[in-house]
Amino acid sequence: EGGSGDEGQRTLNPKLRGEGWRRRVRVRKLDSDMLGAVNLFWMWWYQTSGNTFRLLRTVVRLSDQLRFQLLRAHGGIYIDSDVLLLRDLTPLCNATFVYQWSDKDADNSAVFGCAKNCRFVNEFIGAAGFTALAYHPLKWRKTGRNFVTEYPMRLPVMTFDPVWLREIGSDNKDPAEYVFEKHSEFSRKGDGVPQFKSRREAFPASLGYHWHGGFASIPREPDPSSVFSQLHRLACNDEDELTAAGG
């Protein structure tokens, strides 16, 4: 979303202008063997029988498994689709990390990094196999109890989930000032919506914002003044140019 025609190309981040993005983004074909024959059978069965609820639950569980398989094969940083990046995560590449699950003593893999073939991922896959439910973050410690020698570095919840603690009333350990206090306010429209000139203004202490709910929680045509629309525009455009122009 950078405008239309030549004007849109001028405001769009230089890394995304023209066809340049194609040199920076590589799309790989998914190897279905990563999911396991039994899981593939049940997906086929639920789809054939029209059981959309079970099919959706299976896909969600397999996404927890698949991120392990992809990180083992390629390394890098896995990011859920409902995470808006506020800063460049390149310095974290090759680090093995997750972040805290709310106020629990548990890991959240919505943002999950490790190097190719890192020890944690290899050990965990050896323990969990193709049992998709075993890959849910709240099952990690039980699954890897006798196999995993060291778990990933756990970043503070504020790093990627700056609203979660506030929303559940558990903001004692990491108190902070909030632009809004509920995930549902991310797409709110009307009076009182804060205005931003940069993504850093939204959550100064965070690297990203996990808004929980995926794109199903965002209207098909979000209000242009909503926080979601503002930060989306800033992510697609060159913030330095916009700030210098006072836009």
Spatial neighbors of 188 by CB under 8 A, at least 6 apart, are 180, 223, 226, 227
Structure tokens at 134: 């075993």
Q: What is the DSSP letter of 237?
A: B
Over residues 198-236, the pLDDT tens digits come to 887 888 888 988 988 766 667 777 888 888 888 888 877
CA neighbor of 167 nearest in space, from 102, 232, 95, 84: 102
Q: What is the mean pLDDT of residues 129-149?
A: 94
CA neighbor of 137 nearest in space, from 210, 30, 31, 196: 210
Q: What is the mean pLDDT of residues 126-150?
A: 94
152-161: b (≥16 Cβ within 10 Å) or e: bebbebbbbb
The helix (H) or strand (E) run that includes residue 85 is: strand 83-85
Residue bearing the bigger pLDDT, 244 or 45: 45
- Mean pLDDT over all residues of the chain? 82
CA pair distance 195, 193, nearest whole angstrom: 7
Residue 56, pLDDT score: 87
Q: pTM score, two decimals?
A: 0.81
Using DSSP's 3-state secondary structure scheme, residue 48 falls into: helix
CA pair distance 157, 51, nearest whole angstrom: 36
**What is the DSSP annotation of 132-181?**
GGGGSGGGHHHHTTTT-S-PPEEE-GGGT-TTHHHHTT--SSS----S-S
